[in-house]
Structures are given as C-alpha cells and as structure tokens.
Chains A and B, each alone.
Chain A
C-alpha cells in the first residue's frame, strides 16, 4: 500500500484545473464585491435612475467576467471600469435615439404632448439622502452638471483612485485627454463647491 504522502502527490489535472478555476472565481468575486457599490453610484450619476444603474452594473459584471475574467488580477480595475464606462455610453446613446423619436412624435402630434404625459423617471441624486444635506445636494448638482467625460474622469481618477494610464484605459482615450477632462472637471467642481463649507 502506498503511503498517504504518495497518494497526495498523484497529479490529477482535472482537479487542479477545477481548484484553480474556483480560486479564480473567488478572486473575481472579491474584486467585484469591492467595486460594486462605487460602480452603482457611478452608473446612478450617469443615468439618475436606480433601476437602469443596477442593470448597467449587472451588464458590466457579466461583460467583465466573460471578457476579462481570465486576465491577471492586476489588470482588472481599469478593465472593469472600461466595461462599465462602455455600458454607460451605450445607455446615453440609446437615450439620445429615444429622445429623437419622442421629438419626432411630438412634431407629428401637435395637439397631444406624449412627453408631457410621461412621468419624470429621474430620481433624487445618489447623494440626496445623505445627512449632510446642503453639501450633498450641491455636490450632486455639480456632478450632474458635468459633461459625461469630465464626470467619468473625475470619478475614476479622483474617487476610484486609478492613475492616469488606467483611467485612459477605462475611458478608452489618451492620457492627454484624461488630463484635459480631469482639469476641466476640477475647475467646474471647484467653482460650484468651494463656497460650501
């Protein structure tokens, strides 16, 4: 009979592959758990709707796991934000198309105004429920007023803490563009928020 140490040493390729896959899956789960709240807030700033924001984050999780789950864990942060950023842009593109259709319908129906009949789906901003009241509402309004690229640059670079190169990867643009967007975002936010103390 073989000693236990020999039995343990018998290689089992399939088992080791499975064990590695499970470990990878756990690592991805830890990563997603760490970023999902901020991802939801970022999507909420972009959409102003909780439901759409959750859908975007879920889509981003699916896309990230499918496309980049096998990459080295060190590469994950900019890739995850890249997927989410892409989903956010897709959402805005769909909204633009939809609003064009509504505008076209509105032109054809002079008497009725379907847009006026549709309830406003926008919700209070993600910061509106915070106890800080005025400061939170001011930040919410300031972020909403930023163009999408500036807001993304600010959130990814300053809040999420990505460096310039990783932010450029996430936003699918050059590092110079990131610096430009961020500089403008900081200037706009400073103008609006410096007075709030």
Chain B
C-alpha cells in the first residue's frame, strides 16, 4: 500500500481542515457534548432498570391485592329486617288479616322496641 504523495496544496488544504475543526464555537461544542452523552447513556449500566422493574412489580402486586379484596363478597349492612323479630314477622305474614301490616316494618321495629322497654 502506498501513501499518495503530499503536494503543497494538499498540505495546505489539510491544515485548513484541521483548523476548521478546531475553530468550532462553544455552542456547537456544547451540543456535540450533549449528543455524545445521550449516545453514551445507552451503554452505561442500567441499575435504574432493575429498580424500575422492582417498583413496577410491587405496584402490580398491590394492585392485584386491592382488586382481589374489592371482588370478595362483602357482608351486607344490617337492615330493619335484621333487627326485627323474624319469628313474629313470619307469624304475621302467615296471617292473611295481618298481611298488609307486615309490610310496615318500621312500625314493627318500633313496636318491638316498645315491648323491650316494657319488659325491661
């Protein structure tokens, strides 16, 4: 392999090219630096990936737990039926004459409470 002979015009041209590369302004050099750092960020160790994966796994586990609890059957809140006397209500319901009254559960709840007060 032979190197092409270096003629004067060629030496001058290469020197001009070298100077042009050295003469870049600060703003351009800064942008080149940022470009280089961004490119290098691909090659650096990525511990943050492990941290992000762990955080995502934890968040997923929490989400699954919360959703699971949300889907489980929840006991119904107590109603007027629960505090009333079931036996008495059934007896009243069996009585045709009292069928209409059996629908007024508030009245029976109040009546039951009155009875307890009298007995007490």
User: Using a CB–CB distance below 8 Å, which chain A residues touch chain B?
Assistant: 17-18, 21-22, 24-25, 28-29, 32-33, 36-38, 40-41, 50, 54, 57-58, 61-62, 64-66, 69, 126-127, 129-130, 132, 135-136, 139, 155, 158-159, 163-164, 182, 186, 189-190, 193-194, 196-197
Contacts and interface: CB of A to CB of B under 8 A. Distances in A.
A190 B39 CA distance: 38
Contacts of A159: 14, 17-18
B69 interface: no
Given A25-B40, A158-B4, A132 B16 contact: yes
A158 B10 CA distance: 9
Interface stretch (B22-30, B93-101, B108-116): B22-30
Q: How large is the interface on B (under 10, 10 to 19, 20 to 34, 35 or more residues)?
A: 20 to 34
Nearest to B12: A135
B16 A135 contact: yes
A52 to B, nearest CB: 13
Judged by DSSP, the binding face of A is helix
A143 to B, nearest CB: 9
B117 to A, nearest CB: 76
Interface string B1-17: 10010011110111011
B21 A38 contact: yes
A32 B36 contact: yes
Contacts of B14: 158-159
Q: Which 8 A-B pairs have the closest CB atoms?
A: A61-B39, A58-B35, A37-B21, A193-B9, A18-B45, A65-B39, A62-B39, A25-B43
Contacts of A40: 21, 24, 28, 32
B11 to A, nearest CB: 10
